Amino acid sequence: MILLDEEMRHVLEFCHWKESWWKEQIPRHEGLSPQLTEGLRAYAEEQADMERRIRESWGNKWAKARELAQPILRAALGEAPATGLEVAEGSVGIIELEIEEDHDHQGGDSDFEE
């Protein structure tokens, strides 16, 4: 779980970095026509917003997965009683969690694959 948390943290940090990078691109269009400048600005803002939404979505889903997995992992590691769980000592198998997906409530799917 610790390794997975570290990997998730790196993914979220990358999304944050990429969002910031897109925002930094917004003022970097000197000497272009106003129409092209406006289009590039809109594109960069859209990309930054997409990275933010991905980061928030994955962060929320991973937080829920961590929350649901904690009792199972604690029991598997012998840190807490396995209340109703059958866990072989010293082994952790594949743990499947069902996480309900949030929808944008605007009648459409999100702009990115999850």
Contact yes or no for 114/57 (Cβ under 8 A) = yes
pLDDT band at 72 (very low <50, low <70, confident <90, very high): confident
Number of domains, the chain: 1
pTM of the predicted model, to two decimals?
A: 0.59
Is pLDDT of 114 > 80?
no
Pick from 15-24, 54-63, 94-103, 105-114: least confident: 105-114
Whether residue 38 lies inside any domain: the answer is yes
* Cα distances (angstroms) measured from residue 37 to each of 31, 46, 67, 92, 97: 9, 14, 45, 54, 46
Range of the domain at 52: 2-76
Whether residue 68 lies inside any domain: the answer is yes
Q: Which residues contact 19 (CB under 8 A, 6 or more apart)?
A: 48, 51, 52, 55
Most confident of 1-15, 43-57, 61-75, 86-100: 43-57
Whether residue 42 lies inside any domain: the answer is yes
82 or 32: which leads in pLDDT? 32
Q: What is the pLDDT of residues 92-101, one digit of tens each?
A: 555 555 656 6
> Three-class SS of residue 20?
helix
**Which helix H or strand E contains 75, and what residues bound it?**
helix 34-76
Whether residue 37 lies inside any domain: the answer is yes
Whether residue 26 lies inside any domain: the answer is yes
Contact yes or no for 45/92 (Cβ under 8 A) = no
Whether residue 6 lies inside any domain: the answer is yes
**CA dist., res. 37 & res. 40, Å (int):** 5
Residue 31: the pLDDT is 86
Amino acid at 21: W
Whether residue 90 lies inside any domain: the answer is no
Residue 28: the pLDDT is 87
Contact yes or no for 31/99 (Cβ under 8 A) = no
Whether residue 55 lies inside any domain: the answer is yes
Pick from 46-60, 76-90, 92-106: least confident: 92-106
